[in-house]
Amino acid sequence: MPRPAGPKPAWLRKPLVHGNSEVRRIVRRHALNTVCEEARCPNRHECWGTHRTATFMLLGSICTRNCRFCSVTKGRPLPVDAEEPERVARAVADLGLRYAVITMTARDDLHDGGAAIMAEAVRAIRRHVPGCRVEILASDFRGRPDSVATLAGAAPEVYGHNIETVRRLSRFVRRTADYDRSLGVLRMAREMAPHSAIKSAILLGFGEERHEIVQAMDDLRAAGVDLLTICQYLQPTRGQLPVQRYYTPEEFAELREEALSRGFAACESGPWVRSSYRADAMYEAWLRRSRGSAASSQADPAP
């Protein structure tokens, strides 16, 4: 690996925005975890303060994996809390959300990887907030088709799973995850959730080459992925991998155009972008394209 990139460049010096205390109170009142805090997301104060949103993290705050880029606590998780989906749904209602994002810790200790709890959270949100759209960001469930089917059966508007990095670096960065297994999960989600948008994300800054990024885009499109976020990796603590390279805003803009030219319905690409960044707007872009395609098909004369 090359040497670390050094100090953050000027475009990564984000002004401080104070978090919304109401969002924090609601999250605390329902005894929930957010990936905003657990993963030390650099946008958390902006999202909480300006957009009044949070990404809920189910199945506890302890992950069974030890990916080298992630600051979520690793170790032996607590037993599954069967009431968690209801508490998430009540928090979504209290916040008045019309678009909810839920993610999870990897739970390799569970037979289904936690798929049933995630699916129940989707259904609970729909019960408490009819009309609320739900995006999920799931683990790979170790590639188990039955787990993917369980979650796909809840019909989230967006089914997300991140490949995180390019093929060459996947085992180094993600350790127990696998690039091709992730592509397989995305392919299964595309088949099992035909009415959902399929979404993934690539983190940059681990030492990848441009042609590898483009190949990852092609691999994702071949797996049926509709929505893509391209993000700058930022070392959360000294315990995670150092950044090998900082990409410029101009490079991120070029990569966004590259992604759109390859057929993604929407792509958010930038130094501060994260998986759930502008999630509702990305879904709307996919929805417009889907409706346009359906209308075009109906207008075509029969052969």
**Tens-digit pLDDT profile for residues 33-67:** 554 444 445 554 445 444 445 678 899 888 999 88
In a domain, 123, yes or no: yes
In a domain, 150, yes or no: yes
Q: Which domain holds residue 106?
A: 15-291
pLDDT digits (tens, 9 = 90+) for 147-178: 999 999 999 999 999 999 999 999 999 988 99
Among the listed ranges 94-108, 181-195, 201-215, which one has the minimum average pLDDT value?
94-108
CA–CA distances in Å: residue 6 to residues 103, 143, 209, 234: 31, 37, 19, 11
Q: Which of 131-135, 209-213, 294-298 has the highest mean predicted lDDT (pLDDT)?
A: 209-213
- For the chain, what is the domain count? 1
Report whether 224 contacts 190 (CB < 8 A): yes
Run of H or E residues at 73 = strand 73-74
CATH of the domain at 53: 3.20.20.70
Phi-psi region of 246 (alpha: psi -120 to 50; beta: other; left: phi over 0): beta
In a domain, 302, yes or no: no
CA dist., res. 179 & res. 249, Å (int): 27
In a domain, 203, yes or no: yes
Among the listed ranges 233-242, 246-255, 279-288, which one has the minimum average pLDDT value?
233-242
In a domain, 179, yes or no: yes
In a domain, 98, yes or no: yes
Beta-carbon count within 10 A of 48 CB: 23
CA dist., res. 280 & res. 278, Å (int): 6
The single-letter DSSP state of residue 94 is H
Work out the pLDDT band at 22, boundaries 50, 70, 90: low
Residue 38's pLDDT is: 44
| pLDDT at residue 13 greater than cutoff 80 | no
In a domain, 4, yes or no: no
Mean pLDDT for the chain overall: 87
Strands 55-58 and 33-34: antiparallel
Q: What is the pTM of this model?
A: 0.88
44 half-sphere exposure, CB direction, 13 A CA radius: 14
Contacts of 135 (CB under 8 A, 6+ apart): 99, 100, 101, 102, 156, 157, 158, 160, 199, 276, 279, 283
In a domain, 8, yes or no: no
Contacts of 81 (CB under 8 A, 6+ apart): 60
CA dist., res. 173 & res. 15, Å (int): 29
Q: What are phi and psi of 198, to 5 degrees?
A: -105, 135
Beta-carbon count within 10 A of 2 CB: 7
Residue 25's pLDDT is: 65
| pLDDT at residue 27 greater than cutoff 80 | no
CA dist., res. 5 & res. 245, Å (int): 5
CB burial class (10 A; 0-12, 13-18, 19+) of residue 81? middle
